[in-house]
Amino acid sequence: MEENKSEKSDMDATIETMMKASTDFWTSMLKAVPASPPNFTAPDGEGIKNRYAESVEATLKRLQAASSALSDPQMADAVLKGLNTLPEFFLKIAKAGWEASARLQEKAVEKAGKIGQKTEAYQFENLDQGIFKAWREIYEEEFSQYFQIPQLGLTRYYQERLNHLLDQSNVLNATLSEFLYLLYLPMEKSMKVFQDKVEDLSKEGNIPDKAKDYYNLWVKILEGHYMNLFKSPEYLTSFREMLSQAEDFVHAKNEVLQDILQSLPVPTNRDMDNIYKDLYLLKKRVKVLEKELARKEKK
């Protein structure tokens, strides 16, 4: 407690010194501003001060006033309290970033430990997708909330939609990475199986002598791996998630585009869809009536 108090008074003293130095600086700057030349007359001939010099002088005076106000310990304390909240906010973001990074590293180390372990060929159940899941969880717990902070003011809805788009884009990246990793797995596994097969063939003395034979062998193994992957529940889940996330992203993107297009003389998809629906229903009614009429005419 005592320690805290002494720390605070140290900080107050530092701020006070800083503010005094600032006031002195602006005062000297004000003095240093050259006066208008004595024979200077404005173009309108009324002999008023140079507008530029006047503006600089006013700014310096404002800064000087602000500095002297802040040099008052009570005022400085109030400002300091306000300023203290900002670093806390940024600190929280930074902290979340560090924590996420540490957890990711932890997962990466865990994964690295598994490198030596054997992966079964043609098997895609219980895959180690921990790194992707970890990133998504971390993102959703630690970062996503910043995009969901309620927006204020006139542009709140626009800002909200833009934030939603950024959020969806990040989630899509994570989902897409997982999906692409799954698509890459058969490549990795097929290469391993291929090497084993070639080794076996070489032991038997049946090693193919044409490059095409090696290629055919590998493609067949690869095809088998893909077929197994595509039938696995893991792939189906990832595929479904990726598709759903892509749709959410496109939807969010369309909402933002809608906002942009609204200000341009261009009809939006929503406008056109409304017209298309009306047109579709009208055409349908006209066709029915035409047929009816033709039938009656025939009779």
Partner 1 sequence: MDQPKISLDLILANIAAEAEKAQDTVTKASEVLLGPLETAMATTPYDVVYEEDRVKLKHYRTPGDVTLKTPLLVTYALINRETMLDLQPDRSVVQTFLNSGIDLYMIDWGYPTRQDRFVTIDDHINGYMDNIVDYVLEKTGAPQINLMGICMGGTFCVIYSALHPEKIKNLITTVTPTNFDTDKGLLHIWMRAIDTDKIIDTFGNLPGDFMNLGFLLLNPARLMIDKYVGFFENMGSKSFVENFVRMEKWIFDSPDVPGETFRQFADDFYKKNLLIQSKLEIGGKRVDLKNITMPLLNFYGMYDHLVPPEACNLLTKCVGSTDTEDITLDTGHIGIYVSSKCQREFAPKIIKWLRERDGEGRPVPVSATNETVGEQPSPAPPLKRPARPEAGKKPARPARPRPTRKEQTIKPSLTQVIQETI
Cβ nearer to partner 1, comparing 142 with 234 = 234
Cβ nearer to partner 1, comparing 93 with 243 = 243
Cβ nearer to partner 1, comparing 54 with 213 = 213
| Cβ 255 vs Cβ 164: under 8 Å | yes
| Cβ 23 vs Cβ 68: under 8 Å | yes
Supply the angle between the helices 51-71 and 73-113 in degrees, to the nearest 10: 90
Nearest distance in Å: CB 194, partner 1: 12
User: What whole-number distance in Å separates Cα of residue 241 and Cα of residue 130?
Assistant: 16
Cβ nearer to partner 1, comparing 31 with 210 = 210
Q: 117-121 long-range CB contacts below 8 Å, 24 or more apart?
A: 119/189, 119/192, 121/189, 121/192, 121/193, 121/225
**SS3 per-residue string spanning 91-115:** HHHHHHHHHHHHHHHHHHHHHHHCC
Nearest distance in Å: CB 145, partner 1: 25
Nearest distance in Å: CB 155, partner 1: 26
Cβ nearer to partner 1, comparing 144 with 254 = 254
Nearest distance in Å: CB 265, partner 1: 19
Q: Which residues 6+ apart lie within 8 Å of 42 measured at CB?
A: 48, 50
Nearest distance in Å: CB 134, partner 1: 25
* Residues in touch with partner 1 (CB under 8 A): 183, 186, 202-205, 207, 209-211, 215, 219, 222-223, 226-227, 230-231, 236, 239-240, 243-244, 247, 250-251, 254, 269, 272-273, 276-277, 279-280, 283-284, 287, 298
